[in-house]
Structure 1
Amino acid sequence: MRTVSFGMNISLDGYCDHTFAIPDEALMDYFTEMMDDVDLFFFGRVMYQLMFPYWSDVAKDQSGSPAENKFAQRMSAIDRVVVSRTLDTGDEKTRIVHSNPAAELLKLKQQPGKKISVDTVSMLPELIAAGLIDEFNLVVHPVIVGKGRQLIPDGSLQEKLNLKLVNTVNFKSGCMALHYLKQ
């Protein structure tokens, strides 16, 4: 069975808004290396539209820094499943699913392959409740933003989830990558 890995950038106060920080080269390299073990992204619509077509355009045009270009090429090469009630089409690497994200992810998890990277906050409580998330990769940025989307909204989990810290990476920027496994 495939491993499902949830990954997200968060602020010190637990918000996931993507406007509060810009990754430096070391962090971009870290994200690129993480994709070596991934052969499928599982996105919600909002995250998908934040990432694409932006990164596929960077990959095509080589318009970023060397680290961003490498990240963009790797990200654009990986297949994607997007859960959305409103999107009907995506690019050639993207399949749209309109309902029941937990059932879809369970089906994908049971197929052969590498890791599945889940990069969506909106479905996280549902996927945790279904027991589908095996590991968490959180990059904590040294900023307090005081507003935005929370990693886990109040009252959205049925029960607490115990995790085991298995790795940390400290960056000169002050960011810290935390890798947890579900216990």
Structure 2
Amino acid sequence: MRTVSFSMNISIDGYCDHTMFNPAEDVLEYFTGTMDDVDLLFFGRVIYQLMFPYWSDVAKDQSGTAAENRFAERFSAIDRVVVSRTLKSGDEKTRILHSNPAEELLKLKQQPGKKISVDSISMLPELIKAELIDEFNLVVHPGIVGRGRRLLDPGSLQENLNLKLDKIINFKSGCVALHYLKQ
């Protein structure tokens, strides 16, 4: 069975709005490395539209820094599933799913392959409840932003989810990667 990994950038005060962060080179290199074990991205519409076509354009044009270009090439080469009620189509590497994300993720998890990377705050409570997330990869940025989406809304989980800290990586940029496993 495949591993499902939830990855998210987060501020010290718990906000997860990707537009609030400007990832340093060392963080981009870290995320590029994590993509080596991933062969499927599982997104909600909001994060998908934030990430694409931006990163695929960077990969095509080589318009970023060396670290951005490497991340863009790796990231945009991976197949993706996007859960959306409103999105009608994507590119040739994107399949649109209109309902039942937990059911679909379970099917994908049971297929052979590498890790599935989930990046969706809106689906997180449902996927946790369905016990589909095997590991959490949080990169804490050294900033307090005071606005945006939180990792979880108050009351969104019925039970605590206890995790085991597997790894901590400190970056020169001041960010910290925390890797947790489901117990």
TM-score (norm 1): 0.99
Matches within 5 A, 1:17-166: 17-166=17-166
- Structure 1 residue 146, shift from structure 2 partner: 1.4
Unaligned residue ranges in structure 2 (runs of 5+): none
Cross-structure match for 2:177: 177
Q: CA deviation at 1:19?
A: 2.1
Output the CA distance in 2 between the equivalents of 1:171 and 1:76. Answer: 24
Q: Structure 1, residues 57-97: CA drift from partner, whole Å, max 9, x if none?
A: 00000000010000000011100000000011000000000
In structure 1, how many angstroms separate the alpha carbons of the residues matched to 2:165 and 2:50?
Answer: 29
What percent identity do the matched residue pairs reach?
A: 79
User: What is the distance in 1 between the residues matched to 2:37 and 2:85?
Assistant: 29
Give the secondary structure class of the aligned counterpart of 2:155: coil
Shift of 1:20: 1.9
CA distance in 1, matches of 2:18, 2:90: 22
SS class of match (2:151): coil
> For 1:105-132, what per-residue CA distance to the aligned partner results, in whole angstroms no more than 9, with x for missing partners?
0000000000000001000000000000
Matched, 1:2 2:5: no
Question: What's the TM-score once normalised by structure 2's chain length?
Answer: 0.99
Question: In 2, distance between residues paired with 1:169 and 1:84?
Answer: 33
Structure-1 separation of matches of 2:33 and 2:102: 27
Query: Which structure 1 residue ranges, 4+ long, deviate > 4 Å from structure 2?
Result: none
RMSD (Å) for aligned C-alpha atoms = 0.5
